[in-house]
Structure 1
Amino acid sequence: MSTRRPSLRGRLLAFLALPMLALLLLNAVITYRIALAYSNHLHDRNLLDDAQSFARMLQTMPRSDQLSPQARFLLEYDPDGHSYFNVESLHHGSVVSNTDFTAIPGARHCLASSPALYSTHLNHQKVRLATVCIANVGEPGDQLVVTVGETYADRRQRAQEILLITIPMMTLLMLCVGALVWLGVNHGLRILQPLTRRLAERNHGLAPISSPDVPREILPLIETIDGLFGRLAEMIALQDRFIADAAHQLRSPLAGISLHVDRALNAGDAATRNDALEHVRRLNQRTARVSGQLLALTRAQTSPTVVEPLALDVLVPEWVAARVPEAIRAGVDLGYQPPAGPARVQGYAPALQEALDNLIDNALRYAGRGATVTVGLSTAADARVELYVEDDGPGVPDAAMPRLGERFYRVAGATASGTGLGLAIAREAVEHIQGSLHYQAALPRGLKVSILLPRLPADPP
C-alpha cells in the first residue's frame, strides 16, 4: 500500500489560495457594507428632499384633509407600497396619513431648526423617516409636522445590485492572480532542478553538493546534506582503514598459525608437536589481542559524543582499583595520587575509561617487573584537569617522542609484546571528548602520559 507523499507545490498553492479566498469573501463583505452606506446616503438625501418638497407644497395648498394629486404622486412613488407619509398639527393632531403614526411622536422633532432624519419601527418593520416642521398658514401659532418615510428594502436591493456587479470583476481578478501564483510557484520550483540533476548524475563520491546557485531558503537543507555526506565519507574511510589495518595486522599471525599447524601435523615426536601447539596458542592470543585493539580503536573513533559532568576524583580511583590484580600479576606497583581538590570535567565516561585503561596497560607492559606506576589527578593553573599515568620504566628515547600515538608504531628495541595501538586508542578516545594527550619524560627515568581536559567549577558545598 503506497502512501501519498506531500507536495511542496500543493502546499504553497494551498497556502496562497486559501488566504486569497478569504480575502475575496472579506472584500465582498466590505464592498456590500460600502455599497449599503452609499445607498443609505443617497436615499437619505432623496428622502429629505421629498419631505422638504412636500412641506413646501403644503404651504401653497389650501387647508384640507385631502392631498392634491400632485402631492400624493410625490409621496406614493414606491410601487411596492413601502413609502409612508404623515402630516400632523401641533394643535389638532393628525391631518392626513397613510398609516398609523400615533406611536411615533413627531412634535419633538420641531424643537430643532433643521429637518430630522431618524430610524424607527413602523408596522413591524424598520423604516427611515424624515421630518420637517413648517408654519400652518391657515392658523397662526400652529405648526405642521411633515413626516415622510420608507423601508430599508430598496436600500438593501441597491447595495446587492452593486455587489453583484463587483463580484464577477473580483472573481476574475482573483483567477488572474491565482494563475500568476501558479506560474510563479512552478517557475520558482524550477530552481531545484539543477540541484536534482547534479544529485542524479552523481554515481560515486560524497563531495559537497552546495553551489552558488542554491537558493538561500534551502541552503540549510543543502548544508545538512553536505554534513551528512562528510560524516558518511569519514565512516567509509574509517571502515576502509579498519579493513586495511585488520588485514595488515592479522596476516602475519594467521600465516604463523598455519605454519605451526602444519608443523604439528607433520611432527614425528611429541616435543616438536607440543612446541608447535604452544606457538599456535601464543599466536592465537596475539590475534585475539590485535582484534580487540582494532575494535577498541574503531570504537574510540566512532563513539557518540555524549558529554556530561564527570567527577574524576570519584571515578578514577574505581578505574585504577579494577587494574590492581593485573598489576600484581605483572609484578608492578600500581598506585593512585589524588588531587588537592575536586576534579570535575565535561566528558564521556566510557571513552575516558578506555583511554586510561590503555595507558595503564602500556605502563604495565613496558615498565617491566618491579616498576612503579602512578595514576594521578591534578588541577592545572589554566583551568584544566590533568589525568596522568607515570612510570619509572626504561622510558622512551627523545627521537621517538614525536611518533608516540601513531597507529602500529612501536619504539625500536622494545622487548614487551604489543600491537602499537594502545596510545593511538587513548589519543582517539581523548580527542573525541575535546581533550588532548601529551607525553614527557619522567624524572629521573620513565614516561609520563597526561590527559588534559577543561575543568568545571566545583559544586557548592
Structure 2
Amino acid sequence: MNLPRTRTLRPSLRRRLLLALLVPVGVLLLLDALLTYGVALTYANRVHDRDLSDDALTLATMLGNDKLDGELSPQARFLLEYDPDGHSYFAVSSARHGLLASNGQLSPPAQLPAIGARPILYDAQLAKRALRAATVRIAMRSDPGDSLVVTVAETLRDRHRQAREILLLASVTQTLLIACVLSLVWFGVGRGLRVLDPLTARLAARTNELTPIDGPDVPLEIRPLTRTIDALFGRLRSMLALHDRFIADAAHQLRTPLAGLSLHVERAMADPQPETMADTLAHIRRLVQRVARTSAQLLALTRAQAPPPEAGERSLLDLGQFIPGAVAERVHEAIRAGIDLGYEGSGRPLFVLGDAASLQDLLDNLIDNAVRYAGRGSTVTVRLSARADGGANLSVEDNGPGVPPDALPRLSERFFRAANHNEEGSGLGLAIVQRIAERHHAEVTYRLVEPHGLCVEVRFPASSETTVGPA
C-alpha cells in the first residue's frame, strides 16, 4: 500500500519574521486587555464608591430629621426597601434603640466612623456574596442624645458589567489598530526582502566564477552570510588552484621518465638480445622507481599545501618521544645506503600542537634529502633541543658536499635542485618541509656546515598547552 507523502514545510524568512511579530503582538494584546479591564474596574469602583457614599449620607441625613420613637417611619422604610434589581442591602441602627431596620445581616466596619465624618467604605460578605458597603454616623436632630448609624451595601455585579463594557469598546478599537499594524508589517517585510533581489540576481548569473559576492548593496544583516560564502569561495579557489598545480606538476615531472620508459621499451623490442634486455630492464626499473617516488612526493606536497586541519583535529605531541622513534625506523635504510644516521636529544619532553602524519612526512623528507645528497660514507645527525622560550628546534645535519651559498634562499622552491648535485631527485623534499612547517607555524632555516655539509633546522613555537616534565 502506497502511503501519501507528507509535505515538509520549507523554512521561510517571511514566515519567521511574521511569527516573530505576531506572537509578541498577541501576547501584548492579551496583556493590554487585562490592563484595560483592571483600569476599567478601578474606574467603575471609584464611581460606585462615590455614589454609595452619597447614598449613605443622603439616607442618613433624611432619617436624622425624622422622629424615630424606636422604629422607622413607613416612608423611610419604603425608601430603604425599594430595590428594583435586588442588589442593594441596608442596615439602620440607633445608639439608643438598637437595630431599627435591615434586609440582611451586614457586618459592621472594624471601627465606626465619627459623628458627622465622611462615610467609611469597606468590603463585606453576605451569604458568600461579596459586597461593597458604606457606613455613616450622624446625630439625631429630634433626639440630641441619640446617634444614627446607616450602612448601605451593594453587590459587585454592576461594577464588573461596566468594566466589561469598557473593555469591549477598547478591544474593538485596539484589535482594528493591531490589524492595521500587522498589514503594514506584512507589506514592510515583503518590501524589505526585495533588497536581496540584486544579490540573488548576481548569484544566478554566475557560472564558474568564484569571486566575492559581498558588495555595497548587501544589507548589514546579510553581510555575515555573504562573508561566510566569500570565505568558502576563497577556500574553493585555493583547492582548485592546488588541483591545477598538482596536474601541472605531475605533467612536468612525469613527462621525462615516461618518455624514457617508452624509449627503453622500443629499444628492447628492436634488439631482443639478453644483454640488451637486461640493461633495458635495469633502466626501466630505475625509471619506475623514479616515477613512484615523484608521485609520492607530489601527493605529499599536495597534502602539505592543503588547508590546515581544524584545531580539534590536532593533538599535543611529545617530540622527545616521537622523533627518536621515527629516526629509528630509518636506520636500516641508511645502513643499506652507507650512511651513518644518528640522533641527539636531551631526553626531556618537548610538546608541540600538530598533526603526527604531517610531522612524520616532514622528518622523512629531511632525512631523505640528507641521505640522498650527502653520499655514501657520510654522517647524518638528527638533533632535538629545547629553547628558552618553550619552543623546540629540530635539525638534520650532514657532512656531505653541501650547496653553493647563493642556492640557500632557493632550497624551499619546488623542483629546485642545486647545480653541483648529480643525484636524481624530484626537487620537492624541502618544499614539502617548508609547507608542513608553515602549517605548524614553524620556521625553516638553512646554513652551511664547516668544512662542508648542510644543516636544515625547523624552529617550532611554544605551545600554550605544553606540559613540561622534569628534565
TM-score range, shorter chain: over 0.9
Q: In the superposition, relative to structure 1, how do residues 87 and 425 fare at CA in structure 2: closer, same or farther (>3 Å)?
A: same
Q: What is the rounded CA distance, in whole Å, between the counterparts of 2:8 and 2:240 in structure 1?
A: 33
Aligned to 1:459: 468
Aligned to 1:395: 402
Aligned to 1:447: 454
TM-score (norm 2): 0.92
Q: Aligned runs of 1:160-309 on 2, under 5 Å?
A: 160-302=164-306, 304-305=309-310, 306-309=313-316
Q: What is the rounded CA distance, in whole Å, between the counterparts of 2:263 and 2:287 in structure 1?
A: 11
Structure 1 contact 340–378 (Cα < 8 Å) conserved: no
1:369 aligns with 2:372: no
From 15, 18, 21, the counterpart of 1:13: 18
Q: Deviations over 1:253-308 (max 9, x none)?
A: 22221222222223242211222222222211111111111111111222625433
Q: What is the rounded CA distance, in whole Å, between the counterparts of 2:272 and 2:345 in structure 1?
A: 59
Structure 2 contact 246–302 (Cα < 8 Å) conserved: yes
Structure 1 contact 437–449 (Cα < 8 Å) conserved: yes
From 391, 413, 418, the counterpart of 1:406: 413
From 342, 350, 366, the counterpart of 1:343: 350
Higher mean C-alpha displacement, 260-269 vs 368-377: 260-269
Q: In the superposition, relative to structure 1, how do residues 320 and 106 fare at CA in structure 2: closer, same or farther (>3 Å)?
A: closer
Q: Aligned runs of 1:119-134 on 2, under 5 Å?
A: 119-134=123-138
TM-score (norm 1): 0.94
Q: What is the rounded CA distance, in whole Å, between the counterparts of 2:60 and 2:184 in structure 1?
A: 59
Aligned to 1:322: 329
Secondary structure (helix, strand or coil) at the match of 1:235 reads: helix
Paired-residue identity, %? 53
Equivalent position amino acid for 2:418 in 1 = V
Q: What is the rounded CA distance, in whole Å, between the counterparts of 2:175 and 2:94 in structure 1?
A: 55
1:59 aligns with 2:68: no
Q: What is the rounded CA distance, in whole Å, between the counterparts of 1:27 and 1:454 in structure 2?
A: 63
Aligned to 1:22: 27
1:110 positional shift: 4.3
Q: What is the rounded CA distance, in whole Å, between the counterparts of 1:361 and 1:460 in structure 2?
A: 32
Q: Deviations over 1:145-185 (max 9, x none)?
A: 11111111111111111111111001011111112222222
Secondary structure (helix, strand or coil) at the match of 2:25 reads: helix
Q: What is the rounded CA distance, in whole Å, between the counterparts of 1:393 and 1:259 in structure 2?
A: 34
Q: Aligned runs of 1:73-152 on 2, under 5 Å?
A: 73=79, 75=80, 78-97=83-102, 99-101=103-105, 104-105=107-108, 108-111=111-114, 113-152=117-156
1:210 positional shift: 1.1
From 46, 51, 54, the counterpart of 2:51: 46
Secondary structure (helix, strand or coil) at the match of 2:462 reads: strand
Q: In the superposition, relative to structure 1, how do residues 296 and 52 fare at CA in structure 2: closer, same or farther (>3 Å)?
A: same
Q: What is the rounded CA distance, in whole Å, between the counterparts of 2:291 and 2:37 in structure 1?
A: 90
Aligned length: 458
Q: In the superposition, relative to structure 1, how do residues 45 and 9 fare at CA in structure 2: closer, same or farther (>3 Å)?
A: same
1:369 positional shift: 0.5
Secondary structure (helix, strand or coil) at the match of 1:216 reads: coil
1:375 positional shift: 0.5
Q: Deviations over 1:332-389 (max 9, x none)?
A: 1111111385433332222122111101001111100000101101234565321111
Q: In the superposition, relative to structure 1, how do residues 77 and 29 fare at CA in structure 2: closer, same or farther (>3 Å)?
A: farther
| Unmatched 5+ stretches in structure 1 | none
